[in-house]
Amino acid sequence: MTDDLRREGLIAPAPAAPGSEGADGADQLGSPARVDLTFSVAGAPAPRSIRVPPGVTVFDSASWNGIAIDSTCGGHGTCHKCKIQIDNVVGSINGQRHEIPVSRHDAKTFTPDQLAAGWRLACLVSATRDLTVDVPPLTTRPKAATVGVGRQVILRPGLQKRYVELAEPTLADQRTDLVRLLDAIDDLELTVDLAVLRTLPTVLRRDDFKVTAVISDEALIDVEVGDTSKIRYAIAYDLGTTTVVATLLDLETGTPVAVSSMLNKQQPFGGDVITRISATMMDPEALPRLQEAAAATLRELAAEVCAEGGVDPGHVYEVAIAGNATMTALLLGIDPEPIGVAPFVMSTATFPPVPATELGLEVHPGARAFLFPSLGAYVGGDIVAGMLASGIDRDKRTRLFIDVGTNCEIVLTDGDRIVSTAAPAGPAFEGGAIRCGMRAADGAIEVIRLSATDLPDGAEPVTLQVIGDVEPKGLCGSGLVDAVAELVKVGVLDSSGRFIPEEQAKEVAPALADRLTRIGEERVFVLYRPTPDAEPGDCVVLSQRDVRELQFAKAAISTGWSLLLTELGLEAGDVQQVLLAGSFGSYLSPASAVRIGLVPSLPVLRIVSAGNVAGEGAKMALLSVRERAGAIALLEEVTYVELSDRADFNDRFVEQLAF
């Protein structure tokens, strides 16, 4: 609609009526009809200028024009991640001095010196005049698990190649070209794409009827000149909300050729599925943008793994995609709103094979995409792929599978029955809503160890392990869990999650007491000081609010698995193995997870980091048609338990809050 285009700055605003207050090119508030924003993005070759209507936020202006600014809340002012620096923070409108105001969220996020230097949160800055904006570098390659626990499979891919040498037509043998080819592959009943028929006569005659038929399941998708039967590749995708991983497979040998990962390009719309669903509900143009962002992510990764493996993208004939229900819906352009509101209904649990070109992939034109089915609105195809890889339906042990993330999926089996559920953990594990939180990238603290007393001379009470071995910049999810677990262990945090008083800390943990301080009215614990006399606001800290965020996240998860145990009549001690899946689970300390109650209190040897099991399941679906059928069969074997209608959920949740 025209009004939508004007709102997004794609066409000029409607002219004001003659004689009105805004008829001279300015609106009734004295702002110009359009404002110019110049973005200097770290790492970009040159600044980029755009024009938008006045009043649009800097964050939205950037997002509409493909300029990525970090955010996990989708521009709602709650995550405090969309940090920018405005060069001309003081300017003028119609000759009058104008300074970009400081919101209460800005005041919580930045020091007074940073505010004076023009630092603001992009989602809270309205562009009422021309601005020059510096955008910090966005972490597009967070640390991610690219491999995981899997099983050996019998190599029987759905993608086949058959080399045949056909008899040339004669007056006595006037069979059509297609019949001639199909007669040579008489063990299969094949369907044929129109694109194949268009090129078939030329291809057959180019090399004296010596050709290779390319078959995807029961579809003939191409006929190639000569013997190319040894050249067949596929790409397995783990389509995560935060990180996407692609693995290029050689289907002839069953081995990985190349692997790559990157941040999901949907990130500007929010760090979790709920904010992305909300974006489609508030803006009718958000769905196609989200669809294109997902497609661009898959497309870029495909190009990377093909380049790394030295493989022609035209030789990639099949892809498999394991993603949660929302990511899958957005990739396919399906309205996700019913997933986000009660009663949480998907459009479908299973999907037909989809032409890869419809997903924006630049691979073989006839390539098919297999999308994993979903068990429920919040237990999606990535979990089905993880169950397939871990063989949870083939094991007689009592096993607990937990994919820790913004939306935490949980599966439990007693060796006979399998139940699953989802728990809303929130963005804390991805660094969202954490004062110094960040994704698992260079500069993120990922391991923390604390010593309360009895330190030798010169020893530091806080030991940090930082990704990239660089100066700490913030705290990622595994570091957050470690920090809280260690503070609970040394007694600086009590069982309710509250920092103990400063005077008590001097007795309980004298080596750490000076690190308990305040930023404004909020109590914090200093994890890293860039200089010995640095102000708390310039340090990497853990705040009381951060502890609460983790507390609520872990309580949601532990409530989920405790209710599943009740569903099967089991106790926590009955669990013989806990699988921690996903990138976060790969780097999480089992001891810390047990200490804060994120997982059942079990010996740490029973807790296994399963890694990227969704990606492993996607690989298995490409390598074996039997395993692909097994993924679909899981829909009949697993019972989904909805937590939101459980009368005992709130009571269980409160019980699980304590550390």
- SS3 assignment, position 649: helix
- The residue among 611, 652, 624 whose CA lies nearest residue 259 is 611
Per-residue pLDDT at 612: 87
pLDDT exceeds cutoff 80 at 135: yes
Average pLDDT over residues 464-471: 92
- The residue among 619, 620, 618, 591 whose CA lies nearest residue 604 is 591
69-83, 182-196, 480-494 — which is least confidently predicted?
A: 69-83
Q: Using CA of residue 580, residue 583, residue 586, residue 590, what is the dihedral sign?
A: negative
| Cα separation, 185 vs 112, whole angstroms | 75
Which pair of tokens denotes residue 214? 């390319």
| Cα separation, 269 vs 82, whole angstroms | 12
Per-residue pLDDT at 29: 43
| Cα separation, 328 vs 352, whole angstroms | 13
Q: How far apart are the first and last CA of the chain?
A: 53
| Cα separation, 542 vs 552, whole angstroms | 16
- The residue among 384, 367, 366 whose CA lies nearest residue 375 is 384
Q: Are strands 131-135 and 35-41 parallel, antiparallel or unpaired?
A: parallel
65 or 225, which is more confident: 225
Per-residue pLDDT at 252: 95
CA 435 to chain centre: 20
Domains of the chain plus CATH, in order, are 12-142 (3.10.20.30), 159-225 (3.10.20.880), 233-371 (3.30.420.480), 430-545 (no CATH)
User: Is the peptide bond preceding residue 343 cis, with omega within 30 degrees of 0?
Assistant: yes
Per-residue pLDDT at 310: 97
pLDDT exceeds cutoff 70 at 34: yes
What DSSP letter does each residue of 130-167 carry, written as one string?
Answer: -EEEEEPPP--S------B-------B-SEEEEEEEPP
Per-residue pLDDT at 141: 59
| 404: confidence class by pLDDT, cuts 50, 70, 90 | confident
Which pair of tokens denotes residue 235? 């790409």
pLDDT exceeds cutoff 50 at 641: yes
| 42: confidence class by pLDDT, cuts 50, 70, 90 | confident
Kindly tell me the number of DSSP H helices and DSSP E strands found in the chain: 19, 29
Put residue 629 in one of left, alpha, beta given phi > 0 → left and psi -120 to 50 → alpha.
Answer: alpha
Q: Using CA of residue 510, residue 512, residue 515, residue 517, what is the dihedral sign?
A: negative
**If you count them, how many residues does the chain have?**
659
| Cα separation, 192 vs 219, whole angstroms | 6
| β-sheet bridge partners, residue 639 | 419
Per-residue pLDDT at 164: 96
pLDDT exceeds cutoff 60 at 11: no
Per-residue pLDDT tens digits for 607-637 = 998 888 999 999 999 999 999 999 999 999 9
Four-point Cα dihedral 75, 77, 78, 80, nearest 10: 90
Per-residue pLDDT at 95: 77
* Location of structure tokens 């097994």: 630
Helix axes 286-309, 273-282, angle to 10 degrees: 130
Per-residue pLDDT tens digits for 70-121 = 776 766 677 777 888 999 888 887 778 888 888 888 887 888 888 888 999 9
| Cα separation, 543 vs 554, whole angstroms | 17
Helix (H) or strand (E) holding 295: helix 286-309
Q: Is 228 exposed, middle or buried (0-12, 13-18, 19+ CB in 10 A)?
A: middle
8-17, 267-276, 366-375, 643-652 — which is least confidently predicted?
A: 8-17
pLDDT exceeds cutoff 90 at 512: yes
| Cα separation, 524 vs 516, whole angstroms | 6
Q: Tally Cβ neighbours within 10 Å of residue 163.
A: 15
What DSSP letter does each residue of 356-423 carry, written as one string?
Answer: GGGGT--S-TT-EEEE---SBTTB-HHHHHHHHHHTTTS--S-EEEEE-SSEEEEEEE-SS-EEEEEE
Per-residue pLDDT at 274: 86
Helix (H) or strand (E) holding 580: strand 577-581
Residues near 151 by beta carbon (within 8 Å), at least 6 away in sequence: 389, 390, 391, 620
What DSSP letter does each residue of 512-531 carry, written as one string?
Answer: TGGGEEEETTEEEEEEE-SS
Answer whether 339's CB lies under 8 Å from 277's CB.
yes
Per-residue pLDDT at 19: 39
pLDDT exceeds cutoff 70 at 458: no
| Cα separation, 93 vs 491, whole angstroms | 55
What DSSP letter does each residue of 70-102 carry, written as one string?
Answer: --SSSSSSSS---EEEETTSEEEETTEEEEPPP
141 or 441, which is more confident: 441
Q: What angle do CA 245, 553, 393 make, to 5 degrees?
A: 55
Per-residue pLDDT at 3: 53
pLDDT exceeds cutoff 60 at 176: yes
| Cα separation, 428 vs 434, whole angstroms | 6
Scored b (16 or more CB within 10 A) or e, 351-375 reads beebebeebbbbbbebbbbbbbbbb
- The residue among 4, 48, 36 whose CA lies nearest residue 127 is 36
pLDDT exceeds cutoff 60 at 281: yes
| Cα separation, 443 vs 462, whole angstroms | 16
Four-point Cα dihedral 336, 341, 347, 350, nearest 10: 90
Per-residue pLDDT tens digits for 314-357 = 999 999 999 999 999 999 999 999 999 988 999 999 999 999 99
| Cα separation, 72 vs 434, whole angstroms | 11
| Cα separation, 29 vs 492, whole angstroms | 53
Four-point Cα dihedral 188, 192, 197, 202, nearest 10: -30
Please give the single-letter amino acid code of residue 511.
A
Per-residue pLDDT at 236: 97
Q: Which pTM does this prediction carry? A: 0.82
pLDDT averaged over the chain? 88
Answer whether 581's CB lies under 8 Å from 148's CB.
yes
| 25: confidence class by pLDDT, cuts 50, 70, 90 | very low
